Amino acid sequence: MVLLVERLSKLYSKLENHHNHPQPEALSASLQAFRSDVSSFITQLLNSDPGLETLSLEWIQKCFQILPMINKAFAKLVVEIDYHVRKWKAKTMEEYLKYSLDLLDLLNSFSSALSHLGQARLSLSHALSLVESSPSSAVERLKTIEFMSFTKEFKDQENKIDESKERSWSDKEWVILQALMELRSTGFWVCSIVLAGLCGDDRAYLAMRKSSGALSNPTLINLDSSVCGVIMGEGCVLKEVRELKDSADCLVEAIAGESSSDAAAEEMRRKLEEFEKLLDGLGKEVDRLFFELLAGRNELLDCIRLQKP
């Protein structure tokens, strides 16, 4: 994200020279525009698929895609108010570094959860390969495969600003800190949905939901209410996981009934291929955002080192 700010700064510097010293009204408008962008991304997710009865990997991926979008919106805000990272005060740098570190940790958790799902898929594929040569072994493996085995503990995260120091902030720093609060709150909420879906465990959602702090975005509050009702009422096992479990049960029944299992095996094979494709797609997006965040953190740390006497 910090690297993106650098590139945008170079791109717009010649066009925006007359905005180098925006007035408080302009700063407020820029902050509002950032918040409107965030609301727009959430609205797109809210309208993308009303079928929240069973969360799907495709929907989880759309949730995840909000993270890079809100990061880009934040970078755009930094450029508009001409407050590059090199100008940030210690408080602003500290808040950004804290948020990005927490997000990197969560991205690692996503990768671990995806790895667990990938291992379960491989186990199902192996069991499927044994159907013809050793049906009894296939049945035994199909009955013992578990998808949800990843858990993570979360610590509560503060998402507020110490207002006692507010008078010492410049207008620009106050805007960036407010935007960081929005970034953190929305980002943690998104992470709560993604991780809960990947783990199939509503405890991950509840813990992360608490960590995100009080939600202030009305659009996000509406979406959270809908999602919370679904998860609390029906759980958060992925649609694809449920379908694979059903396919495995059908295949076991077909083998036990000593009837042709070809159709059931073919159906499972098709679902496994779709599952693998979705896992790979989300995994690539997680890796991409991880390395972008890591590069941004390194650049900001370099700025801090250069500022030291």
pLDDT of residue 20: 46
List, in order, residues 6 or more apart from 297 with CB less than 8 Å away.
2, 97, 100, 101, 104
CA distances from 45 to 40, 78, 224, 286 (A): 9, 25, 11, 18
What is the model's pTM? 0.84
Amino acid at 99: Y
Q: With CA atoms as reference, report the closest residue to 275 among 240, 248, 251.
A: 240
Q: Could you list the pLDDT tens digit for every one of the 309 residues in the chain?
A: 555 445 434 433 433 443 444 568 889 999 999 999 999 999 888 776 655 456 889 889 999 999 999 999 999 999 999 988 888 888 888 899 999 999 999 999 999 999 999 999 999 999 999 988 898 899 988 888 877 655 566 555 555 555 444 445 688 999 999 999 999 989 988 998 898 889 887 877 777 666 656 677 888 888 888 888 878 877 788 899 999 999 999 999 988 886 678 899 999 999 999 999 999 999 999 999 999 999 888 888 887 777 655
pLDDT of residue 122: 93
**C-beta separation of 216 from 182 below 8 A:** yes
List, in order, residues 6 or more apart from 246 with CB less than 8 Å away.
none
CA contacts within 13 A on the Cβ side of 203: 9
As a whole number of Å, the end-to-end CA separation of the chain is: 26
Q: Count the Cβ atoms, other than its own, within 10 Å of residue 165.
A: 9
pLDDT of residue 225: 84
Cα separation of 297 and 7, whole Å? Answer: 15
Q: What is the dihedral of CA 219, 192, 181, 223, to 10 degrees?
A: 0
φ/ψ (deg, to 5) at 129: -70, -15
> What tokens appear for 304 in the block?
């801090």
pLDDT of residue 151: 59
